[in-house]
Chain A
């Protein structure tokens, strides 16, 4: 597709369940980012990949959060043993190296609700 694609768009999980969120970046985009956006807040950085290498994971809130991009294209954000505070919209973004600094292309997000 033409844009960044995320699935599922909506996910409801019971507390303690594991969830996996998928991101399909724009073809050819080297950089991939995950952000978490809580209600009424701006997006907060979680992690960054360049190709398959995870160069920065400083924003992951706990060791329950794990991200991978094994072939340098599709990425998965996994949250283990979900807690209510994990409820948020998870945004994936990609960019190409020749683009301007910080100019990211965001997907529509995956809204996670933990009951």
Chain B
């Protein structure tokens, strides 16, 4: 049962524009969601998180939105930069510590 789903395997955006990465989830109760970013041959790195008591969390160019009624979260990157090209994973916490990841979306920023 896929608890966290990223339906777009890839996304291409022009430099300077907004990138929007999407994630859907099931089985919602109190939840905590995170976004991780992964470059080739490196481990994932934490980017931003949001608790289900909030609708929005912002950190510089990165904003995560949580729509609880739609069971949907999104990551907005604005303006997009070439260094943002990477694979992005959404994840939720299950239990005390376990992370459940989506399949990932490969973001390519074109100059």
Contacts and interface: CB of A to CB of B under 8 A. Distances in A.
Interface residues of B, number: 25
Given A48-B98, A56-B97, A104-B99, A43 B49 contact: no
A42 B42 contact: no
Contacts of A40: 9, 103-104
Given A91-B43, A102-B49, A108-B41, A42 B95 contact: no
Interface residues of A, number: 26
Nearest to B99: A102
B22 to A, nearest CB: 14
Given A56-B95, A56-B97, A102-B34, A43 B103 contact: no
Given A100-B49, A102-B93, A103-B34, A43 B98 contact: no
